[in-house]
Amino acid sequence: MYIDGCSTGQFSDLPVTALKLSLGIHNRKARDKERSWLELGWIPQVRKESARGKKMFQQSGHLESLNVTVIDGEGDSADEIEEEEEEDEDGVVKAQDFHTMLSVILESFVELQRTGMLWNLKYKGKLYHSTELVIFVPYVKCDTEEADLLCGKYLTRTINVKHICRYCHCPTNEADDPRAKYPPKSQPAI
């Protein structure tokens, strides 16, 4: 399997991610050809942006738009609380959306893996009738961004991140030392 993102146009901000499949029985020369790859599906990037209609509704001053929740004696609007939650969970939600769309695309493929299939295989000029192909996926080839979403990795790699390693206390500003030994994180720290 191969997962790769692409843009839908030069000035478009609507990226999509393609999920493709090729059989490992093909040699490298055959796999390099476009016809050897089957597109199983496309995953759009889901973006949650505040709608212009919601802003206009809040600016209208309507009583329904002034939905206020009292927490510890302080009034916070429901939208402010919702925005804070979205900021905290954005990476998690993005990965969950990605996995949910992948599960829909791969639903019939999983069934094919479970049952196998019969195939008339032509190999070195000889035809083998009703050869059973048992399909399995040893790995998924993909770029960094798609791989991070696939395995649920924390996506931020900027200087503001305290530790870039999930398993050890490796400070971001010291991550360029390959010989460094840092203590592993405990399970609660992870």
Token digits of residue 177: 């030392």
- By residue count, the chain amounts to 190
What is the structure's pLDDT at 172?
Answer: 78
pLDDT band at 68 (very low <50, low <70, confident <90, very high): very low
Indicate the pTM of the whole model: 0.57
What is the structure's pLDDT at 88?
Answer: 39
Q: What are phi and psi of 73, to 5 degrees?
A: 80, -5
Determine which of 16-30, 57-71, 111-125, 157-171 has the lowest per-residue pLDDT on average.
57-71
The residues spanned by each domain of the chain are: 2-50+68-155
pLDDT at residue 70 greater than cutoff 70: no
* Mean pLDDT, residues 23-30 taken together: 85
* Mean pLDDT, residues 31-60 taken together: 77
